[in-house]
Structure 1
Amino acid sequence: MTMVPLRPFLVCLASLLALFAFVTAGLAAPPLPRDKGLPITVQAGASVLSIESFDENTGTYRATVDLRLRWNDSRLAAPADAGGAPPETLRGSAAEARMKDIWIPPVRIANQTGEALRSEYGLRIYPSGRAELLHRVTADFTVGVDVQRFPFDRQKLTIEIAADTLTTAEMQLRFDQSDIDFSRPSANAELAGWSIGLIDLKSAPLPGWYNGSHARIVAALDIKRQPGLVVASIFIPLLASLLIPLLAIWLNSMEDGVFQVDTYEMVNIIIGGLFAVIALNFTVYSSYTVLSVGDNTVNRLFALNYIGLASALFVNILFSRFNVIARLFGPYVQEQAYVTLMWTIPTLILVLATAFMLAAYV
């Protein structure tokens, strides 16, 4: 009995299976609707149903959103005598089964991170060949956070609708007034500590290979921080700590060019203030890690605190401990110079602190 060599047989079988899989995949994936030419226009919009959380330290938020896509495909059109028929409406598993038989725009939410906690589909096909796909998804999304105007800042919770497998020469994402009307937050959408605004749609193509580009639409939900609790817990202690270096200057007095309070006591106040500011610094940055990087109101006020403490220490050592001005120019000049600094330093600190707060608010 003649034996067939096993290895060539397995190689031939694997090749046949691969060819079958390739042909099956080609049949299972409907081609692009090219009857009206390229690029295919797909209208896109997104609405926010609910927001569960927003972590500005990690730059992520969890929400339930509806992604809507609309396009025309003449292969889906009904016969002419069915022009007045209602659209074919499918939901859940029925919609997913129908989606396998028709062309679906290869669109994804590009800033989604991890697996979706919930993913459901709804599909409508109109007799004219118009198709509408609704994708409801609950997931975590990444977002850029800008705290330069903290605590009066606004953030953008973005939904990036991207078609990164087709170039803009093959498919384009567009939106019109109906998509703008659809793209809005639900009346029940709430987020503790924030006021919910409107959704802005913007076209932002992605660069591709060989000077190509991929269509992308960014839906950005505007939220505004409610500053009441933040001002009470962070800014009142920060502004109060600015009084420590001022007290170290004001509590001393001078008669005939001689200071009445020992330098040691004033320096103790300044060192105590330094430890208080360091403790406040640690507490704030532990709760708001995002504030520790970049230019923002909190970092400016911390810097102003350190500068104020350094100025008070410098004044006390220079004037009270070593009497440098008195030795160089006499006690009268030292007394007048001290009085000048006693009001100049607080004025500068007050002006700068007010400017920092107004720059964040305006």
Structure 2
Amino acid sequence: MESKSSESASEKLSADHFSSFRTAHLELEDGTCYEGRAFGANRSISGEVVFATGMVGYPESLTDPSYRGQLLTLTYPLVGNYGVPARNPADPLNPGFESSHIQAQALVIQNLSRDFSHWNATSSLEDWMIEEKIPGIEGVDVRAVTRRLRESGTIKGRLLVEGSPDRDEIASSPYQDPGNRNVVAEVSCKEPILHRCASDGAPRVILVDCGAKTSIIRSFLDRGADVLQVPWNHDFVAEKGDAVLLSNGPGDPKMALETVENIRRALDGSRPLMGICLGNQLLALAAGFDTYKLDFGHRSQNQPCVEVGTSLCWVTSQNHGYAVDGTSAPDGWEEWFRNANDGSNEGIRHREKPFFSVQFHPEANPGPLDAAGLFDRLLGLVR
């Protein structure tokens, strides 16, 4: 009898829980519509719909500034089962998070786990999203969404939550395209910030913040280097430092032309310079390459990249929707890496000067650490 009573109570709790669900719709610009259940904040939103194929790492992905303005679809079928890690209010570089807030516009998933278990978890994914005012939709066939995006290319869409106060306004407004605005300026720091390591006489890396992940900063601090984090349009050429790192970030690189112009001036010198993700594209534009938008981007933790001229294949973490046209290499420059899946450019370097960049994320978080040695490569040029 006790077992039956317990089962009935569980069934009642489940029934009450499901009855509280709100209907939501993911509408794509091409007219495709997916129905599901809303979770997170009670609001509707519009943006660019993208997909990522990683199995884990949703706190890092959601806080990655590169997802600014995007509705993030996760293809792994169960999300939220290890909750959200604890934050240290005194540490601006909290491990497990790539910025201080969720950057994605919304989250699209198949199944939300409201029960979570992890020794370092302090809240559920849904509670965190409510706190951050981020809406989500579950119960969607994310495989169907992914196939649609692969066939049609990245497409704009909107998440409409029934009963939300802004539902009708969002439904009747034009689809928002983050590629049409300078989202880099939205996620960059507003003034220089100095991060010091524990070593005296440490080399200083100037980090041009175009939406930098905090794990990039931690990667240098862990290697005994100070980091001067400067805004995206800051005149970093005039700053004192031993090396320059052009960070990752969101959107179209051609919207950050002030950064490109500063890089162009830096290329007249010989101070070591490295780019990551968007930084690869910005360096390429400054050098004379062209960039273009990929059909559906690279957003996963297992992108294979072949080092040109070798048989080495690196497994890398990536999150980008634009790429460098490797066929447009100007004098003095060469392709360094290519994607083994689609042949797109994954890195460039100068033949003589200490300038190089990669389209992937050597700091990972989440993802493999095959390329982490690139931070050592940059610091090795100044030590």
Question: Higher helix fraction: Structure 1 or Structure 2?
Answer: 1
Same topology, TM > 0.5: no
Taking structure 1 as the reference length, the TM-score comes to 0.23
Taking structure 2 as the reference length, the TM-score comes to 0.22
